[in-house]
Amino acid sequence: MTYSFVLQSLLNGLLIGGVYSLMAIGLTLVFGVMKVVNFAHGSLIMLGMYTSYWSVMMFHLNPYASILISFVVLFIIGVAFQKFLINPILDAPEHNQLLLTLGVSLFLENLAVFLWSPDYRVMQTPYSEINFYIGDISISLVKLLAFGVAILLAAIIYLILTRTDLGKAIRAASEEPRGSLLMGINIQRIYIITFGIGAACAGVSGAAITPFIPVYPYAGWLFVITAFVVVVLGGMGNVPGAFVGGLIIGIADSVGAIFLPGGMKSIISFIIFILILLFKPTGLFGRKDA
Amino acid sequence: MPDIPEQTGYLKRKFYPRTWITIGIALVVLHILPWVVPNILHIMIMIFLYTIMGEGWNVLGGYAGQFSFGHSVFFGIGAYVSTLLFIHFGLSPWFGIFVSCAAGIIFGLFFGFLSFRYHLKGPFFALIMLAFAEIFHMIAMAWSAVGGASGLLIPLRGSCPSLMQFISKTPFYFISLWLMLGSLFLVWWIEGTRMGLYFLATREEHDAAEALGVNTFKTQMVAMAISAGMTAIGGTIYAQYILYIGPDSTFGVANSVEIMLPPIIGGPGTVLGPLLGSALLTPLSEVTRLAFQSYSGVHLMIYGVVLVIVIMFLPNGILGFARKALSGFGFRGKLST
């Protein structure tokens, strides 16, 4: 095992880690504001992948323009999801919300099987052949672009949350729902927008990886568990924590792939998941009172 | 220690003569069914198996209030342990089932010890169980000694009752029927014991139960052990009946869902809920499986819709809703669940 091989794994891990970060930001935002663990996040990622795939295959869009379509489509799906399914049962016990999102994810995944068959579909783009070289290390253009898109959207969300009135309202609703209701914030609307943003994160991250990861109905499962690991690692509801956690898990996964046989590489992130849940459920960067 | 009064509000367990008559008729019907309508035996066996495992999930999820999203881990342990013992050591599954059950309990206690020590609950517990099941799934996929991704075929030795192998489905019908009746009785019996009340106390108000002297850790461990053991027994019978096990059909996420949905939809925390849920969902899944053979997951799409509808409109399951509705009309306590 050479030095450059390890460096190559670290770099690949970092690039995919950026995408994990974006997936996890969507999940952690929804948890932080609504206290809902969104099990359907993986299905939303999968829908983002299919949206991008079909826009490219049917309308011959540039794959990176299709990311915008995924953003819009998934935002709308997220809004409808929150408005018609989650808002009505917000007062129910938390496991009911978990089961509801599980039901939605079962429905969406198997609807995808029904509509588009369980086959793997690979998006053909001219970009996927392009690699840059720095010494022995190759950087694939599509992975670099996916990383760039993920970081860009993560930064935009961070700015929205910290610099705008909407962001202030979202943070207020997350900290003190009743108090912000009394201050005249329309909580239901904030919830709808937050879920829309969360779903859009899933859609964009799905669309960003479509040029190098095959699309199939259960693709979301690959990522939703990783996203949960990242969210727990970063502290449930902690957006910057999710960002750092994504990079850590990305690197841990690809370093694990050096030592472990193919099917076992995700076992590292599972073990991290179990250890964190057991010893520090508030996450690496979680507050004590969380 | 004073005995718990027999007729407390929640546990009005008095059996009316008509309850005995209903049970008697149901038993007779179930025992002559294989000769009356032999072509539904497969569906009946699957209903019974998923009722056994649903009752297992119900003890932990419905009664003790810890929702597990990874019960397929116990199903898989049950299926793999008895199968490996049979293939490598020729041990009859009749004995293997006890080893499987013990293995399920041991792993259940291990997972429970890890999670309940830190008071994991709600979504955290659900997710950690999912993670355990996924780890076992990955190991089963990657480890060629247990069959790897292609799974294990159980060698068929013809009709051999001492090895739990039969040419006809009827013996499996009775094995699963009696085990199911046993599981119903077990859960009904637990419901009336002091431990059953501890389960409910821990579910409803964890901290208050602790403050009143209930050892909630021990309570949850007991619930986990019973739950894991019952689910592992279901896994063993399933393996013997289907004669094939693979990582996806045992440890897969879809299997966890199929184990937990009958109790959730029928009514978590009720004795008959898992049976009702399984009797509704299993035929649905078998029929859609036949209708959409090339799309193996379509029955899960229907499960998803049913789950969403039940959670939105009947959050306590069908039996929970029925009990509430009937008590509203002055039938309080007469509906023995």
CATH number of the domain residue A66 falls in: 1.10.3470
**Amino acid (one-letter) located at A185:** I
- pLDDT for position A26: 92
How much helix, strand and coil, in percent to the nearest 5, is found in chain B? 75, 0, 25
User: What are the structure tokens assigned to B292, written together?
Assistant: 């959409």
Residue A127 counted as domain residue: no
If one counts the domains in chain A, the total is 1
CA B195 – CA B197 distance, rounded (Å): 5
Binned at pLDDT 50, 70 and 90, residue B335 comes out as very low
For an interface test with A, give the residue of B296, B301, B302, B309 to mutate (most A CBs within 10 A).
B301
Residue A130 within any structural domain of the chain: no
**Domain extent listing, chain B:** 17-328
Mean pLDDT of chain B: 87
Residue B78 clears pLDDT 90, i.e. is over it? yes
Buried b (16+ CB within 10 A) or exposed e, B100-121: bbebbbebbeebbebbbeeebb
The neighbouring-strand residues paired with A121 are A215
pLDDT of residue B220: 94
In a domain, A241, yes or no: yes
pLDDT surpassing 90 at residue A51: yes
How much is the ipTM here? 0.86
Answer whether B264 sits within 8 Å of A99, measured CB to CB: yes
Which residues of chain B are at the A interface, by a Cβ-Cβ cutoff of 8 Å? 67, 69, 114-115, 117-118, 120, 122-124, 126-128, 130-132, 134-135, 138-139, 141-142, 149, 253, 257, 264, 292, 294-301, 303-308, 311-312, 315
Residue A134 lies in a domain: no
pTM for the model:
0.88
User: Strand locations in chain B, DSSP E?
Assistant: 152-153, 244-245
Residues of B whose CB is below 8 A from A279: 118
Question: Which pLDDT tens digit goes with each residue over B97-147?
Answer: 999 999 999 999 999 998 888 788 788 888 889 889 988 998 898 888 888
Dihedral sign, CA of A32, A35, A39, A45? negative
Please name the helix (run of DSSP H) or strand (run of DSSP E) that holds residue A131, with its range, or none: strand A131-134
Is residue A267 domain-resident?
A: yes
Helices of type H across chain A: 3-34, 41-59, 66-81, 94-116, 141-163, 165-175, 177-182, 187-209, 219-234, 239-259, 267-279
Mean pLDDT of all residues in B209-227: 92
Give the C-alpha separation, B67 to B317, whole Å.
14
Q: Among residues of chain A, what percentage have pLDDT more than 90?
A: 40
Q: Which chain B residue lies closest to A228 (C-alpha atoms)?
A: B127
Q: Phi/psi class of residue B66: alpha, beta or left (left: φ > 0; alpha: ψ in -120 to 50)?
A: beta
Burial of B17 (0-12, 13-18, 19+ CB in 10 A): exposed
Distances (CA, A) of A120 to A46, A62, A112, B109, B293: 12, 21, 12, 39, 18
- Largest CA-CA distance found in chain B, in angstroms, rounded: 61
CATH level 3 topology of B17-328: ABC transporter involved in vitamin B12 uptake, BtuC (1.10.3470)
Nearest chain A alpha carbon to B300: A106
Taking the CA of residue A217 and the nearest CA in chain B, the distance in Å comes to 10
A185 in any annotated domain: yes
Whether chain B has a CB inside 8 Å of the CB on A104: the answer is yes
Touching check for A10 and chain B: CB below 8 Å?
A: no
Integer Rg of chain B from CA:
20
